Amino acid sequence: MFYNEEFETLPREALQALQIKRLQQVLQRVYHTVGHYKKSLDAVGVKPSDIKSLSDLHKLPFITRQDLQNNYPFGLFAVPMSSVVRLHASAGTSGRSTVFGYTKRDVETWSELMARSLVAAGIGKNDVIHNAFGYGLFTTGLGLHFGAEKIGASVIPMSGGNSKRQIMILQDFGPTVICCTPSYALHLAEQGSALGVDMKTLKLRVGIFGAEPCSQQMCDEIEKIYGITALNFYGLSEVMGPGIGMECLEGRNGMHIFEDHFLVETIDPQTGEVLPEGAEGELVFTTLTKEAFPLIRYRSGDISRLITEPCRCGRSHIKIERVIKRSDDMLTIRGVNVFPAQVEAILTDIEGLEPHYQIIVDKSGPLDSLELQVEVSEKTFSESGSVKELQTIERRIIKDMKDYLGVSARVKLVEPNTLQHTPGQAAKVIDKRHI
Amino acid sequence: MKVEQISIFLENRPGSLEHATRVLEEANINIRTLTVAETADFGILRLIVNDVEKANAVLKENGFRVNKTAVVAVEVPDRPGGLHSIMKVLGAEGINVEYLYAFVEKSGENAVIIFRFDNPEKAIEVLLANKFTVVPGAKLYEF
């Protein structure tokens, strides 16, 4: 099933002709409107007109998350704010967050791509969609919502949390589709079981999952507990949000990237060399149609591989494998992306704390849990040596983690020299989850 | 008239208290009295010792987070109503007690109550005015 059959099944040759035309247009536009791109292209001596075919793509420099942060908040916008109708942002304190803008047309494109994704999962206007992704600055909740309305489905804008209420609505409103992170689906099932609700008796028939790594085992488990078909989408707020890629009902091996709107490459994360199709590497995205926040060769940090074999669904667009690994130290905690550097910034902003810390990520039931162990500094203890004052510091850390990063953390103050003081971020994270 | 108390930050795990007492033993420090304030994850060990400076130094050398806090020691007869006689006065004067702990003197006649006040100066003034025996640090360390 297709939402836009013409473009989703465009023969590769026509698709590539469209891609190069759109790439040349976006390059001209960003080169003349966004200072960063003029500087980075000039630095390597490449002009937009040098890109004559898709095989020239590798000549263009990458843009990284660091570049995005350096241009906080609006430095990479390619249109004036008067043309922007929506802003979204990633987690993080000032300067460590990233802001994404959308023009009216961007929102329309996004809605269409999300609509394509839902239709690829066999969802239509007769469906009732329970959307348990968070609404707000994060892109997933609203992104899905607009796509669902576009296909004429009925949307329940549930957002996350309040599990008991979620289960009540699942029972009373009878949605046929559930959208959330895979771990939240498992958590809801546990809550349901505690309330004596058999998830198989609900009207749900399809689940749309994303925003965190999902193993085949997790998908299988969800399908068994709920008696539904579990499909994955691929999204990246920087590139657009959800709706960049979608697993189709017919193929069910990998997620189609909507290639009329995005170029995807895999590179060696160490050398930056473009890898042959099918090799595992870091995904790099170029947006072909975005107006407000175009990205040229954005290094996503996600590790995957491209699947170029034709799909039985009839889409001509290539697929990527589900993303389980990262090329950097980004952590996904209950669907929220967190970097250790952001945690460190929160700790150093609290007066007197030494940034000797360790992040321990684990599962409590199906959900992720994050424990932050922080060494008590000499300054902290000599100035705040009472239980009350130390607990005030603990609460402050917990609150800042929630306010700035959107993550619920458990904080444990520890004695000095109990944590590894190895330089480098990776040593500061112990991930006990097995995905 | 104030007494110096040593506070040590300890994680709530087996062996952390043992490490602190070992360091004190090796430095030949005698503990007069002690108490532990605990939460789920950490505790604060509070000590009155015979040599505050030395205890502070050796604990720091061994990587402990240590601080010194001014507390007030009050001597009362070891009999029913001993503590209450102090609390009556403090209550009437509106003086808040953060925490307290106690020990009985070797003679067995008197108890010494260690108080942590928000405002130790004012508390000492009130206690002395009401004829209580406030034990100076130097005397307490030598008990």
Q: What is the pTM of this model?
A: 0.85
Nearest to B39 among A377, A380, A391 (CB): A391
Closest CA to A402 of A331, A360, A346: A346
Each residue's pLDDT, cut to its tens digit, for chain B (143 residues) gives 889 999 999 999 999 999 999 999 999 999 999 999 989 889 999 999 999 999 999 999 999 999 999 999 999 999 999 999 999 999 999 999 999 999 998 888 899 999 999 899 999 999 999 999 999 988 888 76
- Would you call A412 an interface residue with chain B, using a CB distance cutoff of 8 Å? yes
Please say whether the beta carbons of A129 and A228 come within 8 A.
no
- Contacts of B10-15 spanning 24+ positions with Cβ under 8 A: B10/A415, B10/B36, B10/B42, B10/B43, B10/B44, B10/B45, B11/A413, B11/A414, B11/A415, B11/A418, B11/B41, B11/B42, B11/B43, B12/B38, B12/B39, B12/B40, B12/B41, B12/B42, B12/B43
CA distance A76 to chain B (A): 45
Closest CA to A244 of A144, A337, A104: A144
A-B contacts at Cβ under 8 angstroms:
48
CB contact under 8 A, B63 and A385: no
Q: For residue A418, which residues of chain B lie inside 8 Å, CB to CB?
A: 11
Q: Backbone phi, then psi, for A143, in 5-degree steps?
A: -60, -50
Q: State the number of CA atoms in the 13 A half-sphere of A168 facing the CB.
A: 6
CA distance B118 to chain A (A): 12
One-letter identity of residue A39: K
Q: Where are the alpha helices (DSSP H) in A227-321?
A: none
Closest CA to A28 of A67, A3, A60: A60
Nearest to B63 among A380, A391, A416 (CB): A416
- Would you call A414 an interface residue with chain B, using a CB distance cutoff of 8 Å? yes
How far apart (Å, rounded) are the C-alpha atoms in residues B4 and B51?
Answer: 10
A230-253 per-position pLDDT tens digit: 999 999 999 999 999 999 999 998
Helix B82-92 crosses helix B120-129 at what angle (to 10 degrees)?
110
ipTM: 0.85
Of A378 and A421, the one with more pLDDT: A378
Nearest to A415 among B10, B39, B69 (CB): B10
pLDDT at A420: 67
Q: For residue A413, which residues of chain B lie inside 8 Å, CB to CB?
A: 9, 11, 41-42
CA distance A322 to chain B (A): 39
Burial class (CB in 10 A: 0-12, 13-18, 19+), A112: buried
- In A3-94, which ranges are E strands? 84-89
pLDDT at A308 over 90: yes
pLDDT at A145 over 60: yes
How far apart (Å, rounded) are the C-alpha atoms in residues A200 and A227?
Answer: 5
Torsion region of A227: left, alpha or beta (phi above 0 gives left; psi -120 to 50 gives alpha): left
**CB within 8 Å of A401: residues ≥ 6 apart:** A343, A346, A370, A372, A407, A408, A409, A411
Q: For residue A385, which residues of chain B lie inside 8 Å, CB to CB?
A: 7, 9, 44, 67, 69
Encode A8-45: b = buried (16+ Cβ within 10 Å), e = exposed. Answer: bebeeeebeebbbebbbebbebbbeebebbeebbeeee
Q: Mean pLDDT, chain B, as a whole number?
A: 93
Please say whether the beta carbons of A21 and A288 come within 8 A.
no
- What average pLDDT does range A57-85 have in this prediction? 97
How far apart (Å, rounded) are the C-alpha atoms in residues A319 and A341?
Answer: 32
Q: Which of B44, B67, B96, B117 to mutate to test the interface with A (most CBs of A within 10 A)?
A: B67
How far apart (Å, rounded) are the C-alpha atoms in residues A36 and A97?
Answer: 18
Q: In whole angstroms, how far apart are CA A227 and each of A38, A169, A180, A379, B53? A: 52, 18, 16, 56, 69
CA distance B69 to chain A (A): 9
Q: Which of A386, A393, A397, A398 to mutate to test the interface with B (most CBs of B within 10 A)?
A: A386
Nearest to A413 among B16, B41, B98 (CB): B41
pLDDT at A317: 98
Interface of B with A in 27-46 (CB under 8 A): 37, 39, 41-42, 44
pLDDT at A425: 47
pLDDT at A95 over 90: no
Rg (CA), chain B: 16
DSSP per residue, A135-151: PSSSHHHHHHHHHHHHT
A179-191 per-position pLDDT tens digit: 999 999 999 999 9
pLDDT at A201: 97
pLDDT at A377: 86
pLDDT at A341: 86
C-beta atoms surrounding A327 within 10 Å? 17
In the numeric block, the tokens 């402050």 are attached to A396
pLDDT at A68: 96
Q: State the number of CA atoms in the 13 A half-sphere of A178 facing the CB.
A: 32
For A416, nearest residue in chain B (alpha carbons): B63
pLDDT at B99: 94
How far apart (Å, rounded) are the C-alpha atoms in residues A223 and A250?
Answer: 16
Q: Which of B6, B7, B8, B9 to mutate to test the interface with A (most CBs of A within 10 A)?
A: B9
Q: For residue B98, which residues of chain A lie inside 8 Å, CB to CB?
A: 386
A203-217 per-position pLDDT tens digit: 999 999 999 988 888
Closest CA to A121 of A200, A188, A210: A210
Confidence of residue A175 (pLDDT cuts 50, 70, 90): very high
How far apart (Å, rounded) are the C-alpha atoms in residues A354 and A375?
Answer: 7
How far apart (Å, rounded) are the C-alpha atoms in residues A34 and B69?
Answer: 59
